[in-house]
Amino acid sequence: MTGLLVVITAPSGAGKSSLIAEALKVDPALRLSVSYTTRAPRPGEQDGREYHFVDEKAFIEMLARGEFLESAEVHGHRYGTAEAAINDELAANHDLILEIDWQGAQQVRRLYPDCIGIFILPPSIEELERRMQKRGQDSPEVIRRRMMVAREEISHSPEFNYAIINKDFDEAAKDLVAIIRSARLGTDRQLARHPEIFRLGN
């Protein structure tokens, strides 16, 4: 298994999805793992692109069958990553981004200790709240709850290999791409992917 698994986590409103979309556009070798969720699609989202949208019953049945690599409940909705899909992508030598919360990231690290963990941080709590309000998707009460959860999420940021502060979007996007490219160049990964080149010295 030589594909690179990149786990990206951030509080709601930190710009995680936008940064990932930019990385996917800049680096065509990257792929995005599409998770399952019980929440309703947001405006502009499509089933099978941002998420596989399923109802509570279907999600529970998948969970009971042990199909999820990781799962968590966030903001009252369930999220989960299908283990078979991840294994197939990595076995095919594809570099994969996994966009999940800190709870899921902990579960994934136990199974894939060599994964690359990246936490996206806002420049301040005040800016995070402003971005949520500007997004116009949530009521004031929902934003208040999300802000409470965000503080808990940010407290787990030291668990990750890298932290990107999304103050300037273009710079943060460059940082994200740079981290992924650097991870690909690790000697162990290069040796696994290109053993014939390393044999040139023998």
Q: Using one digit for the tens of pLDDT, what is the confidence trace for 54-74?
A: 999 999 999 999 999 999 888
Average per-residue pLDDT in the chain? 92
201 inside domain? no
Q: How confident is the model at residue 137 (pLDDT cuts 50, 70, 90)?
A: confident
For residues 6 and 98, give the distance between their C-alpha atoms in angstroms, rounded to a whole number: 6
CA dist list (Å): 36 to 3, 14, 105: 22, 21, 15
The domain that contains 33 carries what CATH number? 3.40.50.300
152 inside domain? yes
Identify the residue with better confidence: 130 or 61: 61
For residues 78 and 60, give the distance between their C-alpha atoms in angstroms, rounded to a whole number: 9
202 inside domain? no
Q: How many domains does the chain have?
A: 1
- Between the ranges 69-78, 118-127, 130-139, where is the mean pLDDT highest? 118-127
72 inside domain? yes
Work out whether strand 68-74 and strand 77-82 pair parallel, antiparallel, or are unpaired.
Answer: antiparallel
For residues 52 and 73, give the distance between their C-alpha atoms in angstroms, rounded to a whole number: 15
For residues 35 and 192, give the distance between their C-alpha atoms in angstroms, rounded to a whole number: 28
What is the rounded average pLDDT of the residues 20-39?
94
26 inside domain? yes
pLDDT of residue 192: 84
200 inside domain? no
pLDDT of residue 202: 66
Closest CA to 58 of 86, 88, 80, 83: 80
pLDDT of residue 98: 95
199 inside domain? no
Q: Which residues on adjacent β-strands are paired with residue 72?
A: 79
How would you write 165-179 as a 3-class SS string?
Answer: ECCCHHHHHHHHHHH
Q: How confident is the model at residue 43 (pLDDT cuts 50, 70, 90)?
A: confident
Q: What is the domain range of residue 34?
A: 5-194
Segment among 15-19, 41-45, 81-85, 136-140 with least mean pLDDT? 136-140
